Amino acid sequence: MGFRVRNLPQTSTRASSLRWRKAALTPKEAAEFADAIQSGRHLKDVGPDGPHYLPLPPKLPRVVQFAGRAEPSVLVARGVGYSLDATVQRAKEKREPLLTPHGFFRELKHGDAGSALRFLREFGPLHWTQGNLSAADWIHLDDFWARQARFVAVYKLWHALRDGDEAIAEGWEWIRSNHSATRLPGEPDLGRKPQQTPLPAKRAGMTPVAVPMPWSVNEQMLQLLSVLAYGEDRLWDGMARIDSHSSGHQLKRALAVALIQHEITWHTRDVQTVWQIEDDGRHVRYSPERHVKGLWAAMWELLAAETRSGHCWRYCKECGKPFYPVQVNSECCTPEEQSLWSKRQWARNHRASAKENQA
């Protein structure tokens, strides 16, 4: 556990200007690959370690079934580079979250090969696993979809925090129903920490809990919640106040807030803070800048940054469309729909108040 230094002047930490590469896929290739993946016919079965192609071969199969993987894998070439910052800025100017990688990824139709390939064309893979050593890379779709399910789980809880207890309960129910889909091979489950030391045989498969799922919480675990939070430097009063007298809604909200924090922290663990030099000849300053190395970590950074600004994208309460709000308290994507929603809210509240008075 680290230590904290408080009461120091705050400094803003700049996000790194990540340049990423899209996948070089033509519309024709994407359609052919999607058809091969969906049908599952004539896929070449290969061992867990191959094949490796350098550079991209023109005639060898590019959709294969790796041994031990639940979904096919696609070989994609590196395409053109783009600036993530510029892409996100343009999307915010147009108020269109689906023009960002994290918005598009959240809204993908889970398991649909065509949607996955479109994401690769628009934004590139979540990781280029070969670094700069290869002209192409294998994209394993089971890993891709597990990450998407995990991302959706956290975003559901984040959006639910704006909408109240019922939405939070629905978010947790979605996670419970789709928990297995969020599992990433080699990584801890949602809310769990990586195992640092080998466990005895009788406890094999168990990993330490950071944030428990609400359906697994018992009296003993309630007493440990604040201890768990302290052990991870998650010193948040909301968790410390949870005990056996807390309502189910209070528990689910506190766990949702804590799980979002835990997942952001875990998936940005490889992001580095570099102190950049600012020298005007008279004054030398050092400013912190976040260096993100891949699109997967960058999307979690974007989620965290948008929660801090208050302008995180959301769904219109009238039409359901995702949008970036002009104002922090905007609930709808246009002024007209905001006005209509406000009038309907007033009418609902008025009817509810009248019914209470009659009772």
| pLDDT tier at 353, thresholds 50, 70, 90 | confident
Q: What is the pLDDT of residue 205?
A: 43
List the alpha helices (DSSP H) in the chain.
Answer: 27-39, 84-94, 101-107, 113-123, 141-163, 165-177, 219-231, 237-240, 248-267, 295-309, 335-358
Sequence spans of domains, the chain: 14-267, 316-359
* pTM of the entire predicted model: 0.84
Residue 4: count other Cβ atoms within 10 Å of its Cβ. Answer: 7
Q: Which residue has the higher pLDDT, 250 or 6?
A: 250
- Residue 57 predicted with pLDDT over 60: no
Q: What is the pLDDT of residue 343?
A: 85
The predicted model gives 55-71 an average pLDDT of 76
Exposed, middle or buried by CB within 10 Å (0-12, 13-18, 19+), for 9?
exposed
Distances (CA, A) of 289 to 123, 191, 206: 23, 28, 37
The predicted model gives 204-211 an average pLDDT of 58
313 contact partners, CB below 8 Å, separation of at least 6: 97, 100, 103, 306, 322, 323, 324, 325
As a whole number, the mean pLDDT across the chain is 82
* Range with lowest mean pLDDT among 36-45, 134-143, 193-202, 231-240: 193-202
- Residue 351 predicted with pLDDT over 80: no
Share of the chain above pLDDT 90, in %: 41
- Residue 122 predicted with pLDDT over 90: yes
The predicted model gives 272-282 an average pLDDT of 88
| pLDDT tier at 226, thresholds 50, 70, 90 | low
CA distance 270 to 293: 8
* Range with lowest mean pLDDT among 29-33, 46-50, 137-141, 275-279: 46-50
Residues recorded for the chain: 359
* Range with lowest mean pLDDT among 71-85, 133-147, 217-231, 326-340: 217-231
| pLDDT tier at 132, thresholds 50, 70, 90 | low
- Residue 96 predicted with pLDDT over 90: yes
The predicted model gives 190-206 an average pLDDT of 57
CA distance 252 to 238: 11
| pLDDT tier at 131, thresholds 50, 70, 90 | low
| pLDDT tier at 5, thresholds 50, 70, 90 | very low
Q: What is the pLDDT of residue 100?
A: 96
User: What does the angle CA 112 – CA 153 – CA 105 come to, to the nearest 5 degrees?
Assistant: 45
Q: What is the pLDDT of residue 240?
A: 66
The per-residue b/e assignment along 278-292, b for 16 or more CB within 10 angstroms, e otherwise, is: eeeeeeeeeeeebeb
- Residue 15 predicted with pLDDT over 60: no
Q: Please, are residues 325 and 51 in contact by the beta-carbon 8 Å criterion?
A: no
Residue 315: count other Cβ atoms within 10 Å of its Cβ. Answer: 17
Chain centroid to CA 187: how far?
15
Chain centroid to CA 252: how far?
19
Q: Please, are residues 95 and 263 in contact by the beta-carbon 8 Å criterion?
A: no
Chain centroid to CA 249: how far?
24
- Paired strand residues for 78: 23
The predicted model gives 262-283 an average pLDDT of 89
The predicted model gives 75-103 an average pLDDT of 93
Tokens of 262: 């835990």
* Range with lowest mean pLDDT among 38-47, 64-73, 301-310: 38-47
Q: What is the pLDDT of residue 242?
A: 73
Exposed, middle or buried by CB within 10 Å (0-12, 13-18, 19+), for 333?
buried
| pLDDT tier at 201, thresholds 50, 70, 90 | very low
Residue type, 343: K
